[in-house]
């Protein structure tokens, strides 16, 4: 069901502004995560500093999105799809802000690690990063395109994320026990694994909110998608 | 038309606690204002559950007020109007059956109008009016009924010391609540409300809405409203009409969060006029 334009043009404008601001924030969170990992792998302190500094923009965008959402609720009393869209944007903003916070945590640890000699196995982190960053990218695309199919693939990839996190984290934990000379770095890498896992979890939250926004089905915490949506993954047109 | 048969059995928790029985059955009703040449209502079917508030919404001219007025045969007063098909049953009784008297029906199915319309009499006489024309003369019975009705209409505290004053001296919101008291004095089964708050300020509107939520414990209420917020605040079920057809009918929470039909979504979110 694709609703048409509102009679009130400023309602359309307000919703559009909310969505666009959320997408700008999403691009920022993605960039911060990318900068922070590149900073770690390429031993580029500047990129880490960039991610830490840019987090301030994400904080301000979260406040702006909440304010826009509240204004829409007060001025237009949205219902149905509009209401879910406003709530979805505000929740997505919260998740994006947390993702950016994870990027800051990684950047700070990375900056510390750059002071030491490079740990040879640091590139092992890239596999976990690719899974988490892929989930984030797809959840944002799903949000942008209201794509339930893509959102569902993000939710399903949480198992892969867990598995990759466990494997990578265990590898660094073992190194932590045996390579005592670099124990601080390996400890930092274990923590970075945890933060990347968290990024994947937050991307899953965004994907679940996309499904709620598009279909009103709440699949969080084991909730199931209605059968008719599982088959076609599109909201059925109701008959008159 | 969206099938309602299962909708009312899946009401949200707040209204599901008490299993509701049906008070009004509208069965494929057709209605015309011009001797049957054109149908204003086109085969409406719906059921109204007991002790719940059912809101009828839709753009002007969609037939919601016409349907409301069919429920107590108010349209009988229009010479050219006629039911073209179907039946309406209230508590199982066909209201157009030969042995049903329209006046008697209206005692069972009271009505509150858009513009409050107290009689130019005292507050007491307004409330006692219905009982008096039913032949009740005993003062103690009338006194008890006036007090009970005014209390039910949340007007007793404001009116108890001025019962002999003219009803026209009350504020607009008080006059509307007096009309509700007058309606419930004769203990109807159903109260029909046709945009009862459209002439009231927000405070008076809130008082009437609060009153409706209280009254549904004892009465079944059907309300026509143009206010989406009012429908979502006070009703258990909402029916959306468009061009004489019932487009969607279901629990209010579902209609306002996830309507099944695109026309409903477009209307409630202000997408067509």
- Contact residues of A toward B, CB < 8 A: 1-8, 11, 76-84, 216, 237-240
Q: What percent of chain B has pLDDT over 70?
A: 92
pTM (two decimals): 0.82
Cβ–Cβ under 8 Å, residues A104 and A29:
no
Q: Output the domain CATH number for residue A96.
A: 1.20.58.220
Reported as a single tens digit per residue, the pLDDT across B231-272 is 999 999 999 999 999 999 999 999 999 999 999 999 999 986
CA distances from A148 to A174, A213, A218 (A): 40, 10, 13
Phi and psi based region of residue B63 (left: phi greater than 0; alpha: psi -120 to 50; beta: remaining): left
Cα B54 to Cα B149: distance, rounded to the nearest angstrom: 22
Q: Would A229 be classed as within a structural domain?
A: no
| Domains contained in chain B, CATH given | 19-120+190-268 (3.40.50.300)
| Composition of chain A by helix, strand, coil, percent to 5 | 85, 0, 15
Which domain, by its residues, includes A191?
Answer: 9-224
Instruction: Give the per-residue pLDDT at B20.
Output: 62
Average pLDDT of chain A is: 92
In a domain, residue A136? The reply is: yes
> For residues B167 and B24, what is the distance between their CA atoms, to the nearest angstrom?
33
Angle at A49 between CA A46 and CA A54, to 5 degrees: 125
pLDDT recorded at residue B28: 97
Residue A144 backbone dihedrals phi, psi, to 5 degrees: -65, -40
Q: State residue B126's pLDDT score.
A: 96
pLDDT on residue B6:
41
Is A189 among the domain residues? yes
Q: Buried (b) or exposed (e) across B233-245, using 16+ Cβ within 10 A?
A: bbbbbbbbbbebb
A236 domain residue, yes or no = no
Indicate the number of domains in chain A.
1
Instruction: Identify all chain A residues contacting B258, using CB atoms and an 8 Å cutoff.
Output: 80, 216
Instruction: Determine the Cα–Cα distance for residues B57 and B248; give it in Å rounded to an integer.
Output: 10
Q: Compute how many other C-beta atoms are within 10 angstroms of the C-beta atom of residue A7.
A: 13
The predicted structure's pLDDT at residue A224: 80
**Beta bridge mates, B24:** B48, B90
Two tokens at B13?
């928790």
**Burial classification of residue B137, based on how many CB atoms lie within 10 Å of its CB (0-12 exposed, 13-18 middle, 19 or more buried):** exposed
pLDDT (tens, 9 = 90+) of chain B, 273 residues, equals 444 444 333 333 444 444 569 999 999 999 999 999 999 999 999 999 999 999 999 999 999 999 999 999 999 989 999 999 999 999 999 999 999 999 999 999 999 999 989 999 999 999 999 999 999 999 999 999 999 999 999 999 999 999 999 999 999 999 999 999 999 999 999 999 999 999 889 998 999 999 999 999 999 999 999 999 999 999 999 999 999 999 999 999 999 999 999 999 999 999 864
Closest CA to B26 of B179, B245, B187, B173: B245
Cβ A6–B268 below 8 Å, yes or no?
Answer: no
- A4 in a domain, yes or no? no
CB-CB under 8 Å, A3 with B265: yes
Distances (CA, A) of B64 to A240, B196, B215, B234: 18, 14, 22, 17
Partner A, chain B 190-249, Cβ-Cβ below 8 Å: 228-229, 232, 245, 247-248
- Across the interface, do A240 and B262 touch by the CB < 8 Å criterion? no
Task: Give exposure, A225-235, as e/b (b: 16+ Cβ within 10 Å).
Answer: beeebeeebeb
A-chain residue closest to B260, CA distance: A238
Is residue A99 assigned to a domain? yes
Q: Classify residue A240: in a domain, yes or no.
A: no
Q: Domain for residue A122, yes or no?
A: yes
B269 and A80 within 8 Å at the Cβ level: the answer is yes
Interface check for B21 against chain A (CB to CB < 8 A): the answer is: no
Of B85, B7, B19, residue with least CA distance to B51: B19
Instruction: Provide CB contacts within 8 A for A157, sequence distance 6+.
Output: A131, A134, A135, A200
């Amino acid at each position: 069901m694709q609703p048409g334009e509102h009679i009130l043009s400023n309602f359309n404008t307000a919703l559009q502004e909310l969505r666009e601001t959320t997408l700008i924030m999403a691009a920022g969170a993605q960039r911060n995560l990318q900068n922070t990992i590149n900073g770690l792998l390429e031993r580029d302190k500047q990129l880490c500093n960039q991610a830490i500094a840019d987090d301030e923009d994400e904080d301000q965008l979260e406040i702006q999105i909440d304010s826009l959402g509240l204004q829409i609720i007060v001025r237009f009393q949205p219902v149905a799809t509009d209401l879910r869209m406003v709530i979805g944007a505000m929740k997505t903003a919260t998740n994006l802000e947390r993702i950016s916070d994870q990027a800051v945590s990684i950047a700070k640890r990375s900056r510390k690690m750059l002071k030491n000699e490079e740990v040879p196995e640091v590139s092992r982190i890239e596999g976990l990063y690719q899974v988490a960053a892929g989930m984030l990218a797809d959840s944002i695309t799903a949000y942008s395109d209201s794509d339930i199919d893509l959102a569902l693939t993000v939710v399903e990839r949480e198992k892969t994320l867990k598995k990759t996190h466990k494997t990578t984290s265990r590898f660094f934990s073992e190194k932590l026990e045996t390579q005592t000379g670099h124990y601080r770095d390996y400890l930092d890498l274990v923590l970075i694994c945890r933060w990347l896992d968290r990024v994947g979890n937050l991307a899953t939250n965004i994907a679940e909110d996309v499904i709620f926004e598009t279909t009103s089905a709440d699949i969080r915490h084991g909730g199931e998608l209605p059968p008719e949506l599982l088959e076609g993954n599109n909201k059925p047109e109701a008959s008159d | 038309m969206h099938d309602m048969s299962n909708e009312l059995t899946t009401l949200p928790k707040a209204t599901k606690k008490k299993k509701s029985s049906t008070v009004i059955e509208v069965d494929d009703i057709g209605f015309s204002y011009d001797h049957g040449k054109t149908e204003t209502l086109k085969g409406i079917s719906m059921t109204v559950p007991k002790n719940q508030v059912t809101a009828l919404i839709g753009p002007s001219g969609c037939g919601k007020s016409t349907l409301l007025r069919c429920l107590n045969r108010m349209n009988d007063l229009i010479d050219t109007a006629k039911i073209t098909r179907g039946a309406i049953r209230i508590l199982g009784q066909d209201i157009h059956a030969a042995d049903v008297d329209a006046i008697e029906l209206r005692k069972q199915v009271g009505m509150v109008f858009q513009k409050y319309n107290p009689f130019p009499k005292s507050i007491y006489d307004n409330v006692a009016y219905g009982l008096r024309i039913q032949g009740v003369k005993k003062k103690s019975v009338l006194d008890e009924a006036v007090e009970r009705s005014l209390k039910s209409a949340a007007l007793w505290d404001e009116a108890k010391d001025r019962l002999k004053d003219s009803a026209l001296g009350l504020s607009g919101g008080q006059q509307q609540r007096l009309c509700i008291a007058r309606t419930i004095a004769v203990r109807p089964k159903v109260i029909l409300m046709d945009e009862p708050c459209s002439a009231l300020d927000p405070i008076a509107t809130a008082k009437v809405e609060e009153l409706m939520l209280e009254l549904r414990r004892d009465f079944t209420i059907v309300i026509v409203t143009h206010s989406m917020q009012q429908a979502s605040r006070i009703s258990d079920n909402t029916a959306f009409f468009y061009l004489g057809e019932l487009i969607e009918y279901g629990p209010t929470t579902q209609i306002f969060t996830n309507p099944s039909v695109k026309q409903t979504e477009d209307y409630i979110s202000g997408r067509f006029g």
